[in-house]
């Protein structure tokens, strides 16, 4: 048989969890045709993979490319980190279904919840749809670099059915719920991957208002889950604070709601985000315990976990830094960076800054994240959880490396230490503040979450928080840090690969990818694992309307294939766009 491509001599980490083995991989018509010793095969092209690992392409369950996909066919930065399939429409936010009159409302929601500039969304979104099936058709018209699947977001669904009443926080009527259920069913029949809802108090619109989905009651959620009845595909996704400040009973009631939602869609997976929060640092164990109980009772609930701290990146050109609301900084904010740095280094300017306090930031219609005011109020304390990111990013630093410790050692104020750090690298220095998953100043809790049998890797939020978070690199971090570099508690390479390939693909119901074996799609990574290294994030101005975002590059990816086509070689995209919308179900529209 003649092959299109043969990958020779690589160490196959095949996604099943089996021990790595050396073998050749032959590809034809976008699929794996043979695995074994294929030295003398007839092929149009070969890739020498000796000294490299060969893995399935990675599947990211939790992204927010809902806006970016309108203007960026490459879906960067996921496509340079080995990810070959992404799932959009998480946390209940998105842009379909949507009437023309509601576009601004959905933009305000996405800007507030996911830190994507409203100006970029207003300019970049094409709005070639109203219904969700029309949205899918519009997206599918333009090939992408990687594959993508879409979920129906609860916020958009609620606004479509209820109009302004959804934003005002009114309960849904029986007629509203019936309309939402019908719309959800139509979207699932058209091939949508599932349904997502957001129940987090920290999720707010640009104006600081609660999201529409946060106001949904149990009756509404159970009815919407019922739209999955009789379907052979579809998942549900929920994010909740499980706010234990309201007492243990509230936590139990909230989890009861999610269990009943899962029970209303038997045979369909429900995933819940799992993080360690400072306010309740052991809450994550209680979430795991409830998920275990639910699973034992026949209601499997999976837990989406992150491989490191969920952290905000601070910088003079990022969305946020501690001086952004200071009156004297505001006078300098519009200066070019080089001129701003000169001014901020002047002792008199510093003295003025240190003598004043920040004005209120969140909820004023700006793109500053809602946590900004909390961060400023807690600055003296959380400076001990604020770190220089550096040229070789360290995502498990000790307290002794913190800016708080640095200020104490130098005998200066926390504000002075932070400003001096921000002014390094001519003002391009970035600081790392892990908001979640770092209460103990190490990643031991994260490790325990990740290795749990109910865990699924996720929460990259790729495409969102564009000026404060850059976690599309999660797969590369898993491979480089957890499978190779961590001094203790490393996770075997074959298990790490299994987590981000077959585990995630199987959960979605994608039986055609996630494992290297004949007949499967040729979504493949060839990786120089020894050389893999994350670069520090950098700010680029490539969003519509001149918006800025963080990108993080990586060394070590020799090649990435999607459906047998090379989309990336030696860290550079090739311009090929074999990526398509993944439609689920037997009869997609």
pLDDT tens for the chain, residues 1 to 589: 799 999 999 999 999 999 999 999 999 999 999 999 998 889 999 999 999 999 999 999 999 999 999 999 999 999 999 999 999 999 999 999 999 999 999 998 888 887 788 999 999 999 999 999 999 999 999 999 999 999 999 999 999 999 999 988 889 999 999 999 999 999 999 999 999 999 876 666 666 677 888 879 999 999 999 999 999 999 999 998 887 667 788 899 999 999 999 999 999 999 999 999 988 899 999 999 999 999 999 999 999 999 999 989 999 999 889 998 899 999 999 999 999 999 999 999 999 999 988 877 654 444 455 556 667 778 888 899 999 998 999 999 999 999 999 999 999 999 999 999 999 999 999 999 999 999 999 999 999 999 999 999 999 999 998 989 999 999 999 999 999 999 999 999 999 999 999 999 999 999 999 999 999 999 999 999 999 999 999 999 999 999 999 999 999 999 999 999 999 999 999 999 999 999 998 543 3
Q: What is the pLDDT of residue 588?
A: 39
* Secondary element (H or E) of residue 53: strand 53-56
Q: State how far the Cα of 80 lies from the Cα of 73, in Å rounded to an integer.
A: 13
Q: Residue 351: exposed, middle, or buried by beta-carbon count in 10 A (0-12, 13-18, 19+)?
A: exposed
Q: What is the pLDDT of residue 439?
A: 95
CA distance to 399, 467, 505, per residue, from 313 (Å) = 17, 8, 30
Please count the other Cβ atoms lying within 10 Å of the Cβ belonging to residue 313: 25
Q: What is the pLDDT of residue 17?
A: 98
Please count the other Cβ atoms lying within 10 Å of the Cβ belonging to residue 233: 20
Q: State how far the Cα of 190 lies from the Cα of 588, in Å rounded to an integer.
A: 5
Q: How many CA atoms lie within 13 A of 82 on its CB side?
A: 31
Domains and CATH numbers, the chain: 2-56+537-573 (2.30.40.10), 58-309+439-534 (3.20.20.140), 312-432 (no CATH)
3-state secondary structure 139-195: HHCCCECCEEEEEEEHHHHHHHHHCHHHHCCCCCCHHHHHHHHHHHHHHHHCCCCEE
Structure tokens at 323: 């001086």
Cβ density class 442-454: b for 16+ within 10 Å, e for less: bbebbbbbbebeb
CA distance to 258, 269, 445, per residue, from 255 (Å) = 5, 15, 21
E strand segments, 227-321: 235-240, 270-273, 301-305, 310-314
| Residue-by-residue DSSP string for 387-441 | EE-TTTT-SS--GGGSHHHHHHHHT--HHHHHHHHHTHHHHT--EEEEEES-TTS
Q: State how far the Cα of 407 lies from the Cα of 382, in Å rounded to an integer.
A: 12
Structure tokens at 240: 């909740």
Residue in the structure block whose two tokens are 């919840």: 113
Q: Model pTM? A: 0.95
In degrees and rounded to multiples of 5, residue 314 shows phi and psi of -110, 140
The answer to whether the peptide bond before residue 81 is cis (omega within 30 degrees of 0) is no
Residue 395 contacts residue 477 (beta carbons within 8 Å): yes
Please count the other Cβ atoms lying within 10 Å of the Cβ belonging to residue 377: 11
Q: State how far the Cα of 310 lies from the Cα of 493, in Å rounded to an integer.
A: 23
Q: What is the pLDDT of residue 371?
A: 57
Q: Kindly compute the dihedral angle of the four CA atoms of residues 315, 320, 323, 328, in this order, to the nearest 10 degrees.
A: 110
**Cα dihedral 581, 266, 259, 96 sign:** positive
DSSP-derived 3-state class of residue 360: coil
Structure tokens at 235: 């998942």
Structure tokens at 384: 């001990």
């Amino acid at each position: 048989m003649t092959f299109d491509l043969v990958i020779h001599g690589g160490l196959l980490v095949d996604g099943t969890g089996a021990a790595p083995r050396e073998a050749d991989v032959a590809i034809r018509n976008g699929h794996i045709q043979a695995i074994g010793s294929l030295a003398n095969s007839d092929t149009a092209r070969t890739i020498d993979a000796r000294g490299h690992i060969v893995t399935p392409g990675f599947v990211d369950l939790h992204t927010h490319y809902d806006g970016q996909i309108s203007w960026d066919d490459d879906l960067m930065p996921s496509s340079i980190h080995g990810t070959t399939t992404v799932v959009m429409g998480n946390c209940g936010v998105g842009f379909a279904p949507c009437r023309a009159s509601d576009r601004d409302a959905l933009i305000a929601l996405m800007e507030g919840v996911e830190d994507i500039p409203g100006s970029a969304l207003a300019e970049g979104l094409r709005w070639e749809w109203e219904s969700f099936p029309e949205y899918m058709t519009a997206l599918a018209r333009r090939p992408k670099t990687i594959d993508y699947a879409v979920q129906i977001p609860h916020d958009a669904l609620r606004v479509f059915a209820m109009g302004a009443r959804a934003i005002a926080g009114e309960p849904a009527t029986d007629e509203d719920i019936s309309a939402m259920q019908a719309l959800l069913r139509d979207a699932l029949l058209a091939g949508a991957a599932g349904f997502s809802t957001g129940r987090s108090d920290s999720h707010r619109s640009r104006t600081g208002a609660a999201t529409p989905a946060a106001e949904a009651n149990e009756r509404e959620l159970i009815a919407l889950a019922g739209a999955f009845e009789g379907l052979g595909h579809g998942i549900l996704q929920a994010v909740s604070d499980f706010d234990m400040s309201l007492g243990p009973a509230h936590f139990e009631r909230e989890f009861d709601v999610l269990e009943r939602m899962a029970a209303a869609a038997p045979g369909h997976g429900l995933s819940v985000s799992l993080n360690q929060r400072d306010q309740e640092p052991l809450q994550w164990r209680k979430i795991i315990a409830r998920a275990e109980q639910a699973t034992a009772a026949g209601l499997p609930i999976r837990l989406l976990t992150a491989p490191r701290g969920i952290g905000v990146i601070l910088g003079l050109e990022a969305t946020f830094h501690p001086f952004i609301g200071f009156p004297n900084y505001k006078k300098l904010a519009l200066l070019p960076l080089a001129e701003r740095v000169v001014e901020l280094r002047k002792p008199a300017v510093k003295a003025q800054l240190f003598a004043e306090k920040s004005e209120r930031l969140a909820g004023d219609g700006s793109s500053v994240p809602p946590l900004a005011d909390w961060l400023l109020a807690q600055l003296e304390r959380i400076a001990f959880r604020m770190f220089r990111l550096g040229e070789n990013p360290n995502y498990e630093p000790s307290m002794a490396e913190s800016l708080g410790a640095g200020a104490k050692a130098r005998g200066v104020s926390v504000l002075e230490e932070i400003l001096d750090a921000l002014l390094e690298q001519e003002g391009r220095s970035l600081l790392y503040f892990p908001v979640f998953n770092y209460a103990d100043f190490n990643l031991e809790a994260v490790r325990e979450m990740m290795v749990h049998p109910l865990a699924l890797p996720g929460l990259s939020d790729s495409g969102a928080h564009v000026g404060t978070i850059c976690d599309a690199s999660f797969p590369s971090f898993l491979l480089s840090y957890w499978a190779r570099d961590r001094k203790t508690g490393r996770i075997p390479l074959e298990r790490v690969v299994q987590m981000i390939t077959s585990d995630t693909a199987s959960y979605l119901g994608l039986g055609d990818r996630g494992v290297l074996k004949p007949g499967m799609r040729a979504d493949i990574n060839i990786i120089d694992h020894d050389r893999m290294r994350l670069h520090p994030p950098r700010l680029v101005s490539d969003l519509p309307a001149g918006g800025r975002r963080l990108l993080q590059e990586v060394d070590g990816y020799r090649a990435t294939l999607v459906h047998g086509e090379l989309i990336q070689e030696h860290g550079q995209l090739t311009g090929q766009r074999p990526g398509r919308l993944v439609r689920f179900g037997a009869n997609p529209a």
